[in-house]
Amino acid sequence: MSRRAKDYFDQISSQWDTLRKGFYGDEVREAVLNAVQPGPDDTVLDVGAGTGFLTEAAAKVAKKVVALDLSKSMTDEARAKVLGGNVEFKLGSAESIPLDDGSVEVVVGNMILHHCPSPEVAIREMVRVLKPQGRIALSDMQEHSFEWLRAEHADIWLGFEMREVEKMMLDAGIGNARVQALSSCCSTTETGESIEIPMFLAHGVKGSVQLMKLEN
């Protein structure tokens, strides 16, 4: 996440849960978690965890959730509402994750890539901390042309082509990467115009193709 994005989220952290409901719904969370199926033996890393949109749900089924975010204000909001002793909060960047190699079974993230100066580096970092055969699922916006989102929401990237995301996943070591269309993200311009931007879900398993080749 960029420094500008951190400042933006620091400022709107107390309003984020209300604002988020106008941007995208719970179906996004369900799609992300269904893609990785966290279980009672899994440690889950939530990258760009914010106020806990994915963390809350993952913590109900996983052994442990590491909630990582660059914004202390967003993390404080999450701490205030996420109950239970199986959530660990960490401050840090998606492009320099403060975890050891191969330390988690699952990585999830929602709407984080378009705030990353180097999304390909962020994905490599997420794959680095995954154990062999670990699962990853990321949701974000597909490519769009709404430049004003850079100013209003501190976006760096105007979404991504799904083929581009698939390549980043494959290059990072997700051998069976799949990227598919998801529901739309909604927003409203300063003039009151409503817009919808299609989202995507990217998911896969670390090293699966290499293992398949060995088996064959």
3-state SS, the chain, equals CCHHHHHHHHHHHHHHHHHHHHHCCHHHHHHHHHHHCCCCCCEEEEECCCCCCCHHHHHCCCCEEEEEECCHHHHHHHHHHCCCCCEEEEECECCECCCCCCCEEEEEEECCHHHCCCHHHHHHHHHHCEEEEEEEEEEEEECCCCCHHHHHHCCCCCCECHHHHHHHHHHHCECCCEEEEEEEEEEECCCCCEEEEEEEEEEEEECHHHHHHHHC
- pLDDT at 191 (0 to 100): 59
Residue type, 167: K
- pLDDT at 8 (0 to 100): 76
- pLDDT at 189 (0 to 100): 57
Which residues form the domain of 9?
3-215
CA distance 136 to 126: 8
Residue 69 structure tokens: 């975010």
pLDDT tens digits, the chain, 216 residues: what are they?
666 777 777 777 877 677 777 788 899 999 999 999 999 999 999 999 999 999 999 999 999 999 999 999 999 999 998 767 899 999 999 999 999 999 999 999 999 999 999 999 999 999 999 999 999 999 999 999 988 888 877 899 999 999 999 999 999 999 899 999 998 776 665 556 678 899 999 999 999 654 333 333
Residue 172 structure tokens: 């990072």
The separation between CA 103 and the C-alpha centre of its own chain, rounded to angstroms, equals 18
Long-range contacts of 57-64 (CB under 8 A, 24+ apart): 57/29, 57/33, 58/33, 58/106, 58/108, 59/84, 59/86, 59/87, 62/38, 62/86, 62/106, 64/88
Q: Domains in the chain: how many in total?
A: 1
Reported pTM: 0.90
Find the CATH number of the domain harbouring 18: 3.40.50.150
Residue 180 structure tokens: 């598919």
